[in-house]
Chains A and B, each alone.
Chain A
Amino acid sequence: MFEKYNPINKLMFQVIDNDGKVIDKKLMPKVSDERVLKAYKDMLFARTADLQIVSYQRQGRIFTYPPNYGQEAISGATAVIIEEKDWLVPAFREMGAMLAKGVSLKELFLLFMGYEDGNAYKNANKVLPISVPIASQLLHASGIGYEIKYNKKNELVYAFVGDGGTSEGDFHEAVNFAGVWKVPVIFIIQNNQYGISTPTRMQTASESLAIKALAYGVKGIQVDGNDFFAMLKVLEESKKACEKGEGPILIEAVTYRKGAHTTSDDPTKYRTKEEEQEWDKKDPLKRLKQYLIDKKLWSEKEEEKIIEDFKKEVDRQFIEAENYPEYKAEDIFKYMYAEMPQELKDQEHRLKEFYRWKEERVSQTSKK
């Protein structure tokens, strides 16, 4: 696969077309109907949650949020392949993959409501928190890859970045280090066509993002990121290659961010309706749904019903997050060092003294 789809050949790997029809059966990944259906439902859950979060944000119930809308197949396929033993190094549009690793939706809500506790991932291991400085997380993936190789472990790292992130120096350093060290890291670029408002063609003069792999001496491939099966197949092959010591791998997953960059962004300023409609035809959920309906594994009726269930579940977790205990003063100090230095203890003490004073002062004022 990596030979035929060497980015120099300018081919994009696809398995199904825009109508969910399989282009070439030989290209299908090894996955049961049952698993595909589950993956579809998980992607649908992510989309339902995503759309609902945007409306919560509009109601002022959650702060800035970056939607995954339109990019669900990339995380959806990762969710199928990633294992308990593997690491997930997300950027910030990988909800499906994070949920698959055991992060709860409630935790994601907590983060975007303003609690670091949302990053503590009570039931998920080997997941790094969302990384806000673009591409900086990729180096952590390369470092984790080194540890895996050093201790001869059978683990993989799935690391994400956007198209804009490929312009950052840390992208270059991360793929370069991983290439020199030959570590089992799968770098996945979600090329959703825009870095906020800046189109990919303004990020690079390269023919594709996948072709950058050649300069690092690593395997690279461009894949239709809105094609669940293509994405899964590429991940399967990447995993095999890494297991043979042929990592790292650089995957460019071509997709489209149907929503805004974040809830503070207005995409009408930089892209056209026509463009959006063109990409609607390639919507990852629409394509997979058609595939499932054609195979009689799914129906519109089932879909309507499950979306209602999902909405209730999303709301349940959201309300749980809304009722999360108050953020305590000591929690801003507690996690800075393994053991709190005296200086920080003093600072915490002063903050609490101030609160005691303020409480008294305010109550005196209100008595007057």
Chain B
Amino acid sequence: MKIMNMVGAINDALDIKLKEDNNVVVFGEDVGVEGGVFRVTENLQKKYGADRVFDSPLAESGIVGTAIGMSIAGLRPVVEMQFCGFIYPAMNQIISHATRMRNRSRGKLETPMVIRMPYGGGINALEHHSESMEALFGHIPGLKVIAPSTPHDAKGMLISAIESNDTILYMEPKRIYRAIKQEVSEDKFTIELGKANVLTQGKDVTIVSFGAMIREVQKAMVMAKEQGISVELIDLRSIYPIDRETIRNSVRKTGRIITVTEGPKSFGLGAEISQIAIEEAFLSLEAPPARVSSYDVIVPLPKGEHHYMQDAYKILYEIEKIVKY
């Protein structure tokens, strides 16, 4: 075991896969010499050479599009989108090809690749650096969308993603890149994709969240507990596919559900999860599913961002409302 933060854990996962599988290549903007703007790929080029870990021209469609070709030909590319707000030029390649090649060719061609992308707000960044648009990606048939909330999960989920034969969007909560440290095994381990994780058992209300928001929920839970409210916390881990079973079991037990997500409210992940709760646990529900999400507005620049972001009090507010309903 070794103490790792999320950056170190992701780096370790890449290191393990680069070492054991010569088909794994890592590329993107500034990921080689510099080791990425967040240093996630630091030292990997030195270790594995510039034909395996390299800087690409500055073009997101080009990065994803060429990764599609590489993966069809047998490589397992892990590419980096420098920030979530820069992935949009690559959307055509993701929607039109990466997620369709297997279906289009009736299983003859596959595109095993991972698109890594830091996402989310709260880091005092420029415009286009703080979005959490998981709903956009969850809506793309053929794509798997995952997001870890701890260094341990970050490592195990990334290794699973690289070994998967699907195209996977791996969303990295950059706000907690270095904020959480924990003991992580230095050995190789995997985490089954598509399975949520019940972080805390509780009986009054279920909260479903993912990524950097987990920490905010945990802060709210401490305050809720002081008032005798027991929260069951589910870390979704996989946005698509969603672990319907874990949500069902929890809501049948607690009778209440709150979703906590960073993105805009309308057509968001919260709506999808609430609908699952209604379909799966209608007769157990004691209150309408509630959403803590952001608003249908553009992420404000740093001075206004606190209005936009979810924090422990916004979550506590909804917890108190739902138990009194």
Contacts and interface: CB of A to CB of B under 8 A. Distances in A.
B59 A143 contact: no
A344 B166 CA distance: 15
B53 to A, nearest CB: 12
Interface in A157-198: 169-170, 173-174, 176-177, 180
A258 interface: no
B142 A336 contact: yes
Contact of A119 (B59, B71, B105): B105
Interface stretch (B115-123, B147-155, B241-249): B241-249
Interface stretch (A146-154, A265-273, A290-298, A301-309): A146-154
B201 interface: no
A336 B92 contact: no
A338 interface: yes
Contacts of A150: 25, 51, 75
A154 B200 CA distance: 56
B65 A140 contact: yes
A145 B57 CA distance: 16
Interface in B49-105: 51, 56-57, 59, 61-62, 64-75, 77, 89, 92-93, 96-97, 101-105
A180 B59 CA distance: 13
A150 B69 CA distance: 13
Contacts of A116: 103-106
Interface in A311-368: 331, 334-338, 341-344, 346
* From B61, B89, B102, B144, residue with most partner A Cβ within 10 Å: B61
Given A139-B62, A169-B61, A177-B62, A335 B93 contact: no
B96 A136 contact: yes
B141 interface: yes
B108 interface: yes
Given A335-B103, A341-B241, A139 B68 contact: yes
A169 B58 CA distance: 13
A292 to B, nearest CB: 37
A60 interface: no
B56 A177 contact: yes
* From A129, A173, A174, residue with most partner B Cβ within 10 Å: A173
A179 to B, nearest CB: 9
A141 interface: yes
A147 B72 CA distance: 9
Contact of B166 (A119, A136, A337): A337
A187 to B, nearest CB: 13
Nearest to A137: B97
A342 B241 contact: yes
B164 interface: yes
A177 B106 contact: no
A133 B65 CA distance: 12
Contacts of A129: 101, 104-105, 109
Contacts of B64: 139
Nearest to B96: A133
Contact of A144 (B62, B69, B106): B69
Interface residues of B, number: 47
Contacts of B102: 335-338
A361 B141 CA distance: 31
B93 A136 contact: yes
Contacts of B108: 119-121
B110 interface: yes
A138 B59 CA distance: 14
B65 A338 contact: no
Contacts of B71: 143
Contacts of A139: 61-62, 64-66, 68-69, 93
A174 B65 contact: yes
B194 interface: yes
A98 B271 CA distance: 46
A143 B66 contact: yes
A131 B314 CA distance: 47
A89 B101 CA distance: 13
Contacts of A331: 106
A177 B59 contact: yes
A294 B213 CA distance: 78
* From B71, B77, B105, B107, residue with most partner A Cβ within 10 Å: B105
A166 B115 CA distance: 27
Contacts of A142: 62, 65-66, 69
B165 interface: yes
Interface in B162-177: 164-166
Given A169-B89, A338-B166, A341-B194, A148 B73 contact: yes
B68 A336 contact: no
Nearest to B25: A150
A334 B25 CA distance: 29
A140 B106 contact: no
A136 B65 CA distance: 8
B65 A170 contact: yes
Contacts of A87: 73
Contacts of A334: 107
* From A142, A146, A338, residue with most partner B Cβ within 10 Å: A146
A147 B73 contact: yes
B70 A146 contact: yes
A147 B27 CA distance: 13
B142 A337 contact: yes
A170 B164 contact: no
Contacts of B93: 136, 139, 170
Contacts of B106: 116-117, 119-120, 331, 335
A128 B96 CA distance: 14
A261 B240 CA distance: 39
9 contacts: A129-B109, A136-B96, A138-B65, A140-B68, A140-B97, A144-B70, A176-B59, A335-B106, A338-B164
A-B complex: 3 closest residue pairs judged by Cβ atoms: A143-B69, A139-B65, A143-B66
Interface of B: 25, 51, 56-57, 59, 61-62, 64-75, 77, 89, 92-93, 96-97, 101-110, 141-142, 144, 164-166, 194, 240-242, 244-245
Interface of A: 87, 89, 116-117, 119-121, 128-129, 131-133, 136-148, 150-151, 169-170, 173-174, 176-177, 180, 331, 334-338, 341-344, 346
